[in-house]
Amino acid sequence: MGKRITESKKFIITETILLILIISLLNTSYYYKNKISSIDKYMIDEYNSLKTKQKDKEKELTELKNYYNDYGNIDNKINFIKEEYFKYIKQLENDIINGKSNKKIAYLTFDDGPYYNTYKVLDILDKYNVKATFFTTTTNGTYCYDNKSYECFKLYPEYVKRGHTIANHTYTHAIRYGLYSSAESFIKAVKDQEEHVKKYAYGYITNIVRFPGGSSTARNLKSSIVEKLRENHYGYVDWNGSDGDGGMLYSKEETWNNFTSTINEKIEVILYHDYSRYTTAILPEMITYLEENGYILLPLFYESNMIKK
């Protein structure tokens, strides 16, 4: 009897152990099954998110490619806009000259820069939303004449960025030191300045010249210089308005009176100098005066009637 009980006990123990083993095995398999399916889910999620990222990147790449192609065409686009704009202004000039329009135009021009003071001029023009023309020279060398620690060629990109027109006032400006000794010496100084502008102003090409001292300074060389300028696709311009800042000035009042006494034509090309403290001081008032007297203030362009070719 005792032996049977012992055998039955043994059986129960063995059965229990077996059951425990089976349960724990089942549990373990369930655990790993879950674990594997959660890894699968993670992998699928990760894959999907990578797919989405890839699509986003592909979209970005397409946008960049389009932008790049557009950028490649930017010169054409700018030229197209410029041509349209110049056509319109040229027509306006013709209408003004022929008395078909009551409008007036003033072209503000600044000679002999860049100077460090040019920044002040540029800031005033920005404030009044006026675009002007800068007749540049390199007579002052690498450093600004009015700030020997500042490299003045840094002004060239500034003219471009702020939407002004850069024009050519010869590299040397050496009126008494060889500029006017021959047509060739003059053209060389023009070409040297052309290269200087191109180098520092993002490849900017200028085709407007102002003779240092005005075209009459060239005397009997003028016609041969003009012919050579024409061969090199240049036109030139003098001026019919000025505040007298090329000479000695003693007060703001004197500068103002000089200015107002010369503004009497329907199309004005006004001569200023970047370095003049009197011009800088009353430039806001001069701009307001012109606008109040019906002038539209514009930058010069080669096709303008004011540019002699």
Task: Say which residue the tokens 């007749």 belong to.
Answer: 135
For Zn ion, the closer CB: 135 or 200: 135
- Which pair of tokens denotes residue 233? 């696709």
Say whether residue 114 binds Zn ion (CB under 5 A).
no
Round to whole Å and give the CA distance between 263 and 289. 10
Q: Is 111 in the site for Zn ion (CB under 5 A)?
A: yes
- Side-chain-side CA neighbours of residue 243 (13 Å): 30
Which string of x and - marks every residue 17-56 that binds Zn ion (by CB under 5 A)? ----------------------------------------
DSSP 152: G
Cα–Cα distance, 189 to 202 (Å, whole number): 20
What are the φ and ψ backbone dihedral angles of 145, each rounded to 5 degrees? -60, -35
Of the residues 93, 112, 243, 274, which one makes contact with Zn ion according to CB under 5 A: 112
CA angle 218, 179, 308 (to 5 degrees): 45
Minimum CB distance to Zn ion, residue 256 (Å): 22
The nearest distance, CB 176 to Zn ion, in angstroms, is 13
DSSP secondary structure of 255-277: HHHHHHHH--SSEEEEEEETT-H
Shortest distance in whole angstroms from residue 125 CB to Zn ion: 19
Binders of Zn ion: how many residues, by CB under 5 A?
A: 3
Q: What backbone phi and psi angles, to 5 degrees, belong to 66? A: -60, -45
- Which range touches Zn ion (CB under 5 A), out of 14-22, 66-74, 140-148, 205-213? 205-213
Q: Should residue 212 be labelled a site residue for Zn ion when binding is judged by CB under 5 A?
A: yes
When the beta carbons of 101 and 217 are compared against Zn ion, the nearer one is 217
> Rule CB under 5 A: which of 76-95 touch Zn ion?
none
Q: How far is the CB of 162 from Zn ion (least distance, A)?
A: 21
Provide, rounded to whole angstroms, the least separation between the CB of residue 76 and Zn ion: 34
Shorter beta-carbon distance to Zn ion: residue 183 or 271: 271
Element (H, E) at 111: strand 104-113
Which of these ranges, 5-13, 98-106, 109-117, 119-127, lies near Zn ion under the rule CB under 5 A? 109-117
Cα distances from 304 to residues 97, 237, 243, 308, in angstroms, run: 12, 10, 23, 9
By CB under 5 A, residue 194 contacts Zn ion: no
User: CB under 8 Å to 192, separation ≥6 — which residues?
Assistant: 138, 170, 171, 172
User: Please, which residue, 92 or 175, has the CB nearer to Zn ion?
Assistant: 175
Residues that bind Zn ion (CB under 5 A): 111-112, 212
